[in-house]
Chains A and B, each alone.
Chain A
Amino acid sequence: MESNQAKNSLLSSHDNIQRTQYPYVTGTSVVALKYKDGILMASDMGGSYGSTLRYKSVERLKPIGKHSLLGASGELSDFQEILRYLDELILYDNMWDDGNSLGPKEVHNYLTRVMYNRRNKFDPLWNTLVLGGVKKGHKYLGMVSMIGVNFEDDHVATGFGNHLARPILRDEWREDLTFEEGVKLLEKCMRVLLYRDRSAVNKLQIAKITEEGVTISQPYSLKTFWGFSAFQNPTVGAEGSW
């Protein structure tokens, strides 16, 4: 009887754990690339509640410390939690006041540990994160997924961007892209995403990080043209659709 109770209390403590099993409010793709002087990053400002476009002014690009820029897609509340972790991390780093500071590589690795640790608890933070930055003349751009998969590259994109933006970036990205060329390339990617990703909205921000620091643009819209013949009757020739 007693052992039964002990068992029950052990079980019930497990019953009370709530894990994230699916995301609620999500942001869609983030696209980022290295350019001549640093990193450029773009994301739209939509927040989807399932397939409903519930919010349209969500900032998904945030500066982290002096040298890093973070972009997030996925569950927006989880992103807010990650920002709280990072705020504390940067605060404690500054409190040493010893001339050392965490650079983009350190923040990226920290995020990898956080994401992988949470997935090991079967309670993942439902995000794909893009971390870019410049420190001591060194450009850094990397990504972390919700299960802790991480890598560095010259250009990265999350979610739909992986399928729709990266092929464009592979064709057109160059090491010595100027700021204007970089922005143009990102806008090209964002326009394709806007056309083809149903959860994208036409309100976006572009952020730049260089040795001088972070600048995040005001929200703006892209010019669109919906008169392409492929848009007129999108299902023509697609057998089985209506």
Chain B
Amino acid sequence: MFRNQYDTDVTTWSPAGRLFQVEYAMEAVKQGSAAIGLRSKTHVVLGCVNKANSELTSHQKKIFKVDDHIGVAIAGLTADGRVLSRYMRSECINYGFTYESPLPVGRLVVQLADKAQVCTQRSWKRPYGVGLLVGGLDESGAHLYYNCPSGNYFEYQAFAIGSRSQAAKTYLERRFNSFMDSSRDDLIKDALLAIRETLQGETLKSSICTVAVVGAGEAFHVLDNETVQKLIDAFEIAGGEEAPAADPDAAAEEGGAADQGAAAAADQGAAATDQGAATEEGVAPMDI
């Protein structure tokens, strides 16, 4: 009855100037579990939330090493993500074979975006249902890109994709000003805190997240579970005061009383931020 006439293939425009199939593909990214990325001058950290489909399965891998200097975190259709990761790996290997040097991240991302764009312009194809956060290092420094199924790509200081990523984005938007000069360890900590924002109350454990780093003098690698758990424990203990500090709204509203029930306050803050950008106003300056 009310069937959409304009979404039967990718190349059909709606009268409003939209390509529904492409938008559906971008919707698939939003439904995948969250992935985040952030960078300093010298390092990029990628992180993701691991969601198992059922009690009986393990989760799917969402972070892939592409080369020593590049890695990706994906949200959306894992199968598409793996296809694109394989493509990126082979591009890096071929470049390394010809020039004996690492492929610049920006160039790989353009090639990837071109590949995704072709799928939006052929009636017999479908767009990739995956968003990729591509992090890497090249001669111009550390870079973080987001590749979208539409064939668009953007460079970011910090970004989050996938389900409930808005909470992580809000966290990152508040803090990104200091990221450029962050140390590697602070960057990882911010990555974990951003991941926590997407969990909405669920406690952050190393078993439900993956964190990976690439940086100057450090090839891309996924941090092992023990390391991640130690980091979480470290800031959960030390973070008695830090948790509210990371949420300036709560701190501003409650003043000095923010100390008590730190975790609860942080959770409320996160829930509030997810509902809209209104909390942005009157944000107190960070004091960490």
Contacts and interface: CB of A to CB of B under 8 A. Distances in A.
Interface string A87-103: 00000000010111011
A106 B95 CA distance: 10
B100 A106 contact: yes
A109 B99 CA distance: 5
B101 A106 contact: yes
B140 A105 contact: no
Interface in A46-101: 96, 98-100
B99 A106 contact: yes
Given A99-B140, A100-B139, A100-B140, A110 B107 contact: no
A113 interface: yes
B138 interface: yes
Nearest to B141: A99
B106 interface: yes
Interface in A101-138: 102-103, 105-106, 109-110, 113, 136
Contacts of A136: 139
B178 interface: no
Interface string A172-205: 0000000000000000000000000000000000
Nearest to B103: A100
B26 to A, nearest CB: 26
A72 B1 CA distance: 74
B239 interface: no
B107 A105 contact: no
Nearest to B140: A99
Contacts of A98: 104, 106-107, 140
A205 to B, nearest CB: 28
Interface residues of A, number: 12
B8 interface: no
Contacts of A106: 99-101
B98 interface: yes
B155 to A, nearest CB: 11
B93 to A, nearest CB: 14
A67 B139 CA distance: 15
A168 to B, nearest CB: 31
Contacts of A109: 98-101
Nearest to A102: B99
Interface in A133-161: 136
B97 interface: yes
Contacts of A110: 98-99
A100 B138 contact: yes
B152 to A, nearest CB: 17
Contacts of B99: 102, 105-106, 109-110
Nearest to A99: B140
Nearest to A96: B107
Interface in B72-108: 97-101, 104, 106-107
Interface string B33-75: 0000000000000000000000000000000000000000000
B70 to A, nearest CB: 14
A136 B101 CA distance: 15
Given A96-B107, A98-B106, A105 B100 contact: yes
B98 A113 contact: yes
Nearest to B107: A96
Contact of A100 (B97, B98, B100, B107): B107
A110 to B, nearest CB: 6
Contacts of B140: 98-100
Contacts of B107: 96, 98, 100
A102 B104 CA distance: 11
Given A98-B140, A99-B139, A105-B101, 10 more contacts: A96-B104, A98-B104, A100-B106, A100-B139, A100-B140, A105-B99, A106-B100, A109-B98, A113-B97, A136-B139
6 cross-chain pairs, A with B, having the tightest CB-CB distances, nearest first: A106-B99, A109-B100, A100-B104, A99-B140, A98-B106, A106-B101
27 contacts: A96-B104, A96-B106, A96-B107, A96-B110, A98-B106, A98-B107, A98-B140, A99-B139, A99-B140, A100-B104, A100-B106, A100-B107, A100-B138, A100-B139, A100-B140, A102-B99, A105-B100, A105-B101, A106-B99, A106-B101, A109-B99, A109-B100, A109-B101, A110-B98, A110-B99, A113-B97, A136-B139
